[in-house]
A and B are shown apart, each in its own frame.
Chain A
Amino acid sequence: MTFSPSTRTGLSAGAALLLLAALAIVPRFVQSPYALHVLILIFLSTIMGQAWNILGGYTGQYSVGHAAYFGVGAYVTVSLMLHRQIAPWVGMWAGAAAVVVVALVIGSICFRLRGPYFVLASIAVTEIMRLVATNLKDLTNGAEGILATEIPPLKFGATVITDFGSKVPFYYIGLGLAVLTILVTWAVTHSKLGYCFQAIREDQDAAHSLGINPTLYKNIALAISAVLTSFAGAFYAIYVGFVDPPTVLGLDLSVQIVLICIIGGIGTIQGPMVGACILVPLSEILRSNAVPELLMKWGWMNGESGIGLFLKENLAHAHVLIYGILVVLVILYMPEGLVGFLRRVTRGRRAA
């Protein structure tokens, strides 16, 4: 089958709308808070991955310091809510404004550097921010972190949502932010801005000679990416209700953000979504010891037998190990991510 480009765009837009409609009615049918929680985490990961994608995937600036923007978004939103009683959906814009400032400062430092030096500088800046957040106790409450207890009611026209203990409001906020992030990415990549970004990614010096100012466009990409990441941070802070320096400003988080994108497929709209849909459930399954549980349930393994006991005892401890092995395998065998891999496979089949 072959489609003209416009039909293909139409088809994928239709598919996207169908998917969105399906996701919108999920809470009607899925009551399990745990399943909703997993979906919310998937949305969160999608936002983080997609936001990084704009800078890393389309502009080719591989920041391993996106936790900085996530953390600032989270801290500003929660602090405003606790100390100034400002609702998080207002506070997150204040967070976004703060993040733009932070991003421009970071950009002015890091964008002077290229390749590995850029990566290292982005890590160093974020580490400094984590340490500062740990040490400035008056501002951030230091290592003790900030506990967000009460969320003010949210007014949507006539309806007022107050029940934030339930997953449903967070589900829709998360879904909404994810859709927003994806739309922004789509809009950016289909505009002149996007072409400038990609020109810089392909060859910065060539782009420069074509009259594209690399510093300007890199900073624009960073600002967009940082603001979207800060939304993810604000959403996380309100949802989890607790922020402290290692969880919202840690290197782990920065790596996690990059990983979502790389596993899914860098520089593609679908990549971060696919990455999130793989990584979140995978870590849940590995972590909660579901594999030996299922094997036992299906009678393939005896819980008291040697192997059964060994798996039961060790698999829960080994989930990060398995995670590491998967990362290595993906990088070695699908360096372009799952989306890129599938494209290559289907293209290969078409060619044959």
Chain B
Amino acid sequence: MDVFLQSLISGILLGGVYALIGTGLTLIFGVMRVINFAHGDIQMVGMYLTYLLFVHAGIDPFVSVLITFPLMFLFGGLIQKVFINRVLDALPQNQILLTIGLGLIMSNTAMLIFTSDYKILTTSYSSGSVKLGGISISQPMTISFLITVAVTAALWWFLKKTDTGQAIRATAQDRDAAQLMGINVKRMSIIAFGLGSSLVATAGALIAPTYYIYPQVGAAFTLKAFVITVLGGMGSIVGAALGGIIIGISESMGAAYIGAGWKDVVVFALFLLVLLLKPSGLMGKSNA
């Protein structure tokens, strides 16, 4: 029973961060229909930023989100404007390769600057935990989960209640119609990519105290982000949040009951099942 509860709790806490990564990707895909293979690398940039702020300015990773978020918004917006914008109408494989190329540039630039050493942030609470019966609840992961919930709620509010948010949603629904309605589609794309980058970088900052940083850290997260996004339904914020939690739980249950080596198989199999049975994702519209 302890094993089950422990896996459930860690799965949910882990899923919170996954949700944030997925939300970032779903926003980008929703608005631009571009599969962003550099997503994990953008997260990596955010992680190094967190690292620099922690080591050189002594800013706690959870606090530094306030700085990382806007900086990464600019970074993502710039990438969209300079690169992604030019391939919006290109063939999907060209879009993919472009983002792969951008990812290679990011990770290898990071390698030249920081070397390929693992950077580990040790905060006072890095291995802190609260005991609850036979199970333990990680302190830093609980905090990051709460921050995730807050960020997701804020994003949801932004998309529903503000003019810009509604314009982004309109663009995601139908790009051409949005343009006809006088929405500045180009600007919305830049904002969406910037926001997507901020979100995934925030996720990077949140896992920094319990994980580690190295130039290639993004690759694994990119794949995971796709799985989460498709699971929840491409373009759906609530879906991505739900998808993140589901993936977190299936990973940790898979590791406990089938074996850690098989947990990613569980995740990918789940992904394929959803693609086949409900291609629009859990929260997507069924006709997509």
A residues near B (Cβ < 8 Å) are 56, 62, 64, 109, 112-113, 115-117, 119-121, 123-125, 127-128, 131-132, 134-135, 251, 255, 258-259, 262, 266, 314, 317-318, 320-321, 323-328, 331-332, 335
**B119 in the interface (beta carbon within 8 A):** no
Chain B proximity of A125: nearest CB distance (Å): 7
Q: Which residue of B lies closest to A314 (CB)?
A: B112
How many A-B contacts are there with CB distance less than 8 Å?
120
**B9 in the interface (beta carbon within 8 A):** no
**Chain B interface, DSSP helix/strand/loop, else mixed:** helix
Q: Which residue of A lies closest to B105 (CB)?
A: A324
Q: Is B265 a contact of A331 with CB atoms below 8 Å? A: no
Q: Is A131 a contact of B265 with CB atoms below 8 Å? A: yes
- Given known contacts A64-B96, A119-B35, A128-B265, A324 and B101 CB-to-CB distance under 8 angstroms: yes
- Taken together as a complex, chains A and B put the C-alpha atoms of A170 and B102 apart, in Å, by 36
Pick from A113, A124, A135: contact of B261, CB below 8 A.
Answer: A135
Chain A proximity of B284: nearest CB distance (Å): 11
**B22 in the interface (beta carbon within 8 A):** no
Residues from 92 to 108 in B contacting A, C-beta threshold 8 Å: 92-94, 96-98, 100-105, 108
Q: Is B227 a contact of A124 with CB atoms below 8 Å? A: yes
Q: Is A255 a contact of B100 with CB atoms below 8 Å? A: yes
User: In the complex, given contacts A121-B272, A128-B268, what are 4 additional A-B residue pairs having Cβ atoms less than 8 angstroms apart?
Assistant: A120-B275, A131-B261, A332-B83, A335-B94
- Taken together as a complex, chains A and B put the C-alpha atoms of A331 and B90 apart, in Å, by 9
- Given known contacts A119-B92, A120-B35, A321-B105, A135 and B262 CB-to-CB distance under 8 angstroms: yes
Q: What does the 1/0 interface line of B246-283 toward A look like (CB < 8 Å)?
A: 00000000000001011011001101100110010000
**B109 in the interface (beta carbon within 8 A):** yes
Chain B proximity of A328: nearest CB distance (Å): 4
A-B pairs, 6 with minimum CB distance = A324-B104, A327-B101, A321-B108, A328-B101, A324-B105, A62-B93
What would be 8 A-B contacts, judged by CB atoms less than 8 Å apart? A131-B262, A132-B265, A262-B97, A317-B112, A328-B102, A331-B87, A335-B90, A335-B91
Q: Is A321 a contact of B112 with CB atoms below 8 Å? A: yes
Q: Which residue of B lies closest to A322 (CB)?
A: B108
- Taken together as a complex, chains A and B put the C-alpha atoms of A255 and B9 apart, in Å, by 36
